[in-house]
A and B are shown apart, each in its own frame.
Chain A
Amino acid sequence: MTDFERDLKEALKRREPPRDLTAGIMARIAPQQPRFHWRPLVAIAAALVVFAGGFEQYQQYRKGQEAKQQLMLALEITAQKLAVATDKVNELNQRRIGHDQ
């Protein structure tokens, strides 16, 4: 037997696989569990908080503006009606003054 033959025989000799080979392979090919990505969730939550805060602020602004408009309308109507009363009183006074003269 030549050296070559001996090397070949040695190389092709049956060898038992290591005991943990199957487990190792299975572990490698097993689908990896999805990792929990918390950063996007935090970003979404922060965006929601900002949006909700902004919306609340907008609602308050809208309500305030509406109240201001109503206030101005109320003052305008009050002014108009007070003016009607004042005009009537002035008219009566003018008539009385004319009558007295």
Chain B
Amino acid sequence: MISKMWLAALALPALAAAQDIPLNLLDPLGPKATETVQVNLDGSLLQMAAKFLNGKDADEAKVKDLLNGLKGIYVRSFKFEKAGEYSAADVDRMRGQLKGWNEIVNVRGPKENTGIYLKTDGQKIQGLVVLAAEPMELTVVNIVGSIQPEQLKDLSGKFGIPDLGDAAKKAGKNREE
């Protein structure tokens, strides 16, 4: 069993305060996973990363723009050898932390469960959470700070980022119908 772990916990003490949702609730799943990805980038690390982005490169310049309003990016992703290594309760516990957030996409299948949530402050988006639960994989992404879906849209095709705005509209239509 190949186990890989990337750690960027460079600012651990500040994490609890910086994250919108306590991703460490998922940490007990770590030992069960065959592959764990943990990204903890607080504001200062994002600014540091921004310094190493090439402003002359069009794609990296867009990422740099995206980072301007961000206060943090946190990711927990676990891949398992077989299904059933995490429970619905684990997912529900994370979902429970998202009360007050706008659920813009929620796809619940027999096996998969994917949700996209936005935290808004008036017109401004102040945070984004992507929760993707697949049989052998569980991923939660928390982007903290001012982010515009257009910015993610601008990055579409560059990092494989799809059109979030369209997804939200379609999801809205689905719910209306």
Residues of B within 8 A of A82 (CB): 116, 130, 152, 161-162, 164, 167
Q: Which of B41, B107, B162 contacts A71 (CB 8 A)?
A: B41
Q: Which of B65-96 contact A (CB under 8 A)?
A: 67, 73, 75, 77
Per DSSP, chain B at the interface is: mixed
Are B170 and A93 within 8 A (Cβ)? yes
Jot down 15 A-B pairs with beta carbons below 8 A, ordered by A.
Answer: A65-B52, A67-B41, A73-B37, A74-B73, A75-B155, A79-B160, A79-B162, A81-B114, A81-B130, A82-B161, A82-B167, A83-B160, A86-B162, A86-B163, A96-B174
- For the A-B complex, the count of residue pairs with Cβ-Cβ distances under 8 Å equals 120
What class of interface size applies to chain B in its complex with A? 35 or more
Q: In the complex, A55→B32 CA distance in Å?
A: 39
Are A64 and B49 within 8 A (Cβ)? yes
Are B73 and A89 within 8 A (Cβ)? no
Q: Which of B46, B53, B162 contacts A83 (CB 8 A)?
A: B162
Q: In the complex, A76→B41 CA distance in Å?
A: 14
A82-B152, A85-B114, A89-B167 known; A74 and B6 CB under 8 Å?
Answer: no
- Tell me if B26 counts as interface (CB < 8 A to partner A): no
- Tell me if B18 counts as interface (CB < 8 A to partner A): no
Q: In the complex, A72→B112 CA distance in Å?
A: 25
- Tell me if B33 counts as interface (CB < 8 A to partner A): no
What class of interface size applies to chain A in its complex with B? 20 to 34
Measured between C-beta atoms, what is the minimum distance from A72 to chain B in Å?
Answer: 7
**CB closest residue in chain A, given B108:** A88
Residues of A within 8 A of B164 (CB): 82, 86
Residues of B within 8 A of A73 (CB): 6, 37, 39, 75
Interface residues of A (CB under 8 A from B): 60, 63-68, 70-86, 88-90, 92-93, 96
A70-B41, A71-B46 known; A85 and B107 CB under 8 Å?
Answer: yes
Are B52 and A75 within 8 A (Cβ)? no
Residues of A within 8 A of B49 (CB): 64, 67-68, 70-71
- Tell me if B12 counts as interface (CB < 8 A to partner A): no
Are A78 and B143 within 8 A (Cβ)? yes
- Tell me if B139 counts as interface (CB < 8 A to partner A): yes
Are A78 and B174 within 8 A (Cβ)? no
Q: In the complex, A81→B132 CA distance in Å?
A: 6
Residues of A within 8 A of B171 (CB): 89
Are B155 and A86 within 8 A (Cβ)? no
Q: Which of A64, A68, A77, A92 contacts B75 (CB 8 A)?
A: A77
Q: In the complex, A90→B170 CA distance in Å?
A: 8
